[in-house]
């Protein structure tokens, strides 16, 4: 058995440093070598698993260097296996100051086989299709795609599905504990999460892409469970089960190890108390952080202000990327709902500043849904909070959970706060106004671009900034046809007008923004690319397409292009 279990994943990369994450079979020392640069780190243990985070420093800005990974002196990457033979060496491409940023983004990817049955049920994996293109295994692509690779990929939630498991995951669960007791075929604990991540990240093409394309990640509900933190009653119901505590602790602990750590720069990790414990440990043997990790996860669930999952990155003055936790940091009290609690909102307030050409905000849930959906969710929240009486409130709460009415629109207090911050930045009240403020999202299993502007009925500020909502979902998990028809109708202006009359009847006030669909919706499995150029911003969505029946080699197909976004 190889000593490399999973990875390498290329995570935080800037102009002079790169972070590489791996999981190993045993306690070991992991060494990464890129040209003349070499760095090593000992593994740390959690729940019987072993991990290392290695940071290379002193790299040249704008350089592109192949790298290798050794575990206790054994070369483990590039992998010496038949299925890895088609892929080129993994590389570290550092950022070049002043170079226009190109970023891929998307969400919602199930990890199922890419055979005929898997493709018939869930379509073609857009991430895998992009990996094959990057590796030069397939060649059909648009001119923009062939010019250069993205500088990073932003995964906006549902990297793994803990509640809708694959046959391979169910086989692991059945062999380990059986499925006759709750939570059945769903993930139970950290050990099962570790296997879930292995299934998600070990397919050869995607594994190679993750080894050579820097990534940033934030969770959404399926990383834990569908409708996670929809409402206070939902949370109460979960906490009364015999299995929820182990699930949420295992899920957040695994998220910290597999996703969150790699989001952070070295300076940001240095401020993390648990990482300080890891990085300063001096033996003997491997440090086991199981108890401390579980304590962090438990506390983060019960006291969300105790830990921050959100993060931010600046790309010179060209762009700031702010990635928000819109799941774990919710205020769920029935009389004071907000998608961001006061502490998280204060952090977001601090990061929402001008002085950048473009302000990018990553949030798994779209801030701006199609107006029909938005006003329907706002109406539901008002009804659930008693706008139409106690009986209607009980019905509204049941509808909230049954229909997944738990986006920003269903937390109007937080929505209005974020709208006001957005308009303040766009009006130049927080430094020079950017050219664009763009919310990047996933979750809803359809893709679109919406554009917003100040609603003159309630907002007097004038802006020159373009305010946009761009959604890319799913990477691989298509929406059922009847839901496609529903969301297409909700995107119509007539649906927006009707739903607004409904929310008005429930006394939902107007906010400072009005908006409409600029492009979409479309329903392909796809991956979006955003590029910032001096003349403005451009986005396009790519999907995989099978030609000549070759399921193993899908080529890239352009789904949509939206440009001229200056």
37 and 119 part of one domain: no
pLDDT > 90 fraction of the chain, expressed in percent and rounded: 84
Segment 496-508 mean pLDDT: 89
528 and 514 part of one domain: yes
- State the pLDDT at residue 283: 85
- State the pLDDT at residue 83: 58
Number of domains composing the chain: 2
Segment 292-311 mean pLDDT: 97
- Judge whether residue 336 has pLDDT over 90: no
Q: What is the pLDDT of residues 466-481, one digit of tens each?
A: 999 999 999 999 999 9
Q: Note whether residue 176 is domain-resident.
A: no
- Judge whether residue 277 has pLDDT over 80: yes
Cα–Cα distance between 390 and 385 in angstroms, integer?
8
- How does residue 335 score in pLDDT terms, banded at 50, 70 and 90? confident
CATH of the domain at 35: 2.60.40.380
Q: Which of 516, 407, 374, 363 is nearest to 453 (CA)?
A: 516
Token digits for 379?
Answer: 């109406």
Q: Note whether residue 185 is domain-resident.
A: no
Segment 158-182 mean pLDDT: 95
297 and 388 part of one domain: yes
Task: Look up tokens 């352009």; give the residue.
Answer: 558
CB atoms within 10 A of CB 389: 10
- State the pLDDT at residue 428: 96
- How does residue 85 score in pLDDT terms, banded at 50, 70 and 90? low
Neighbouring residues of 479: CB distance < 8 A, sequence distance ≥ 6:
445, 446, 487, 523
Domain around 409: 98-136+148-171+194-304+313-565
Task: Look up tokens 């983060």; give the residue.
Answer: 300
226 and 273 part of one domain: yes
- State the pLDDT at residue 347: 97
CATH of the domain at 452: 3.60.21
114 and 253 part of one domain: yes
81 and 165 part of one domain: no
Helix runs in 148-212, H state only: 167-176, 190-201, 204-212
Q: Which of 546, 522, 386 is nearest to 449 (CA)?
A: 522
- How does residue 25 score in pLDDT terms, banded at 50, 70 and 90? very high
For the entire predicted model, the pTM comes to 0.96
379 and 258 part of one domain: yes
Buried b / exposed e over 498-507, threshold 16 CB at 10 Å, is: ebbebbeebe
247 and 153 part of one domain: yes
pLDDT > 70 fraction of the chain, expressed in percent and rounded: 99
- How does residue 86 score in pLDDT terms, banded at 50, 70 and 90? confident
């Amino acid at each position: 058995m190889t000593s490399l279990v999973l990875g390498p994943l290329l995570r935080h990369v800037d102009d002079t440093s790169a972070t590489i994450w791996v999981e190993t079979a045993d306690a070991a020392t992991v060494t990464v070598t890129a040209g003349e640069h070499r760095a090593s780190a000992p593994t740390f243990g959690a729940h019987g698993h072993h991990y290392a985070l290695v940071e290379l420093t002193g790299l040249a800005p704008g350089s592109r260097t192949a790298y290798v990974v050794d575990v206790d002196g054994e070369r483990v990457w590039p992998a010496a296996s038949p299925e890895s033979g088609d892929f080129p060496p993994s590389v570290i491409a550092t950022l070049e100051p002043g170079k226009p940023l190109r970023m891929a983004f998307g969400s919602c990817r199930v990890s199922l086989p890419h055979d005929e049955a898997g493709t018939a049920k869930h379509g073609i994996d857009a991430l895998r299709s992009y990996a094959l293109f990057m590796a030069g295994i397939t060649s059909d692509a648009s001119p923009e795609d062939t010019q250069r690779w993205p500088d990073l990929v932003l995964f906006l939630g549902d990297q793994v599905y803990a509640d809708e498991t694959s046959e391979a995951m169910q086989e692991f669960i059945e062999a380990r504990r059986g499925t006759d007791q709750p939570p059945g075929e769903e993930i139970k604990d950290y050990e099962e999460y570790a296997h879930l991540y292995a299934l998600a990240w070990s397919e050869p093409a995607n594994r190679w892409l993750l080894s050579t394309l820097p990534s940033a990640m934030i969770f959404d509900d399926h990383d834990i469970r569908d409708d996670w933190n929809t409402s206070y009653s939902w949370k109460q119901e979960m906490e009364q089960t015999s299995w929820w505590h182990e699930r949420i602790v295992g899920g957040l602990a695994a998220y910290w190890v597999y996703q969150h750590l790699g989001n952070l720069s070295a300076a940001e990790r240095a401020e993390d108390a648990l990482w300080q414990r890891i990085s300063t440990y001096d033996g003997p043997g491997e440090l086991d952080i199981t108890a401390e990790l579980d304590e962090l996860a438990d506390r983060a669930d019960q006291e969300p202000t105790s830990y921050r999952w959100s993060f931010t990155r600046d790309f010179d003055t060209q762009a700031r990327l702010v990635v928000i936790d819109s799941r774990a940091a919710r205020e769920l009290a029935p009389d004071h709902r907000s998608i961001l609690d006061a502490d998280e909102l204060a952090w977001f307030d601090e990061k929402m500043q001008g002085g950048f050409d473009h302000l990018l905000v990553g949030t798994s849930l779209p801030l701006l849904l199609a107006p029909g959906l938005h006003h329907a969710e706002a109406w539901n929240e008002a009804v659930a909070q008693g706008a139409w009486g106690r009986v209607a409130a009980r019905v509204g709460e049941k509808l909230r959970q049954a229909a997944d009415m738990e986006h920003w629109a269903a937390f109007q207090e937080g929505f209005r706060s974020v709208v006001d911050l957005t308009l303040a930045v766009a009006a130049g009240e927080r430094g020079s106004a950017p050219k664009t403020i763009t919310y990047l999202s996933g979750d809803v299993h359809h893709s679109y671009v919406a554009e917003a502007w100040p609603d003159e009925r309630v907002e007097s500020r004038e802006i020159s900034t373009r305010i946009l909502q761009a959604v890319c979902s799913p990477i691989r998990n298509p929406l059922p046809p009847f839901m496609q028809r529903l969301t297409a109708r909700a995107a119509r202006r007539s649906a927006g007008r009707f739903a607004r009359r409904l929310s008005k009847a429930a006394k939902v006030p107007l906010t400072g923004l009005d908006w409409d669909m600029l492009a979409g919706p479309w329903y392909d499995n796809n991956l979006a690319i955003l590029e910032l150029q001096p003349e403005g911003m451009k986005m396009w969505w790519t999907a995989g397409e099978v030609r000549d029946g070759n399921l193993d080699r899908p080529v890239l197909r352009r789904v949509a292009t939206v440009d001229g976004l200056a």
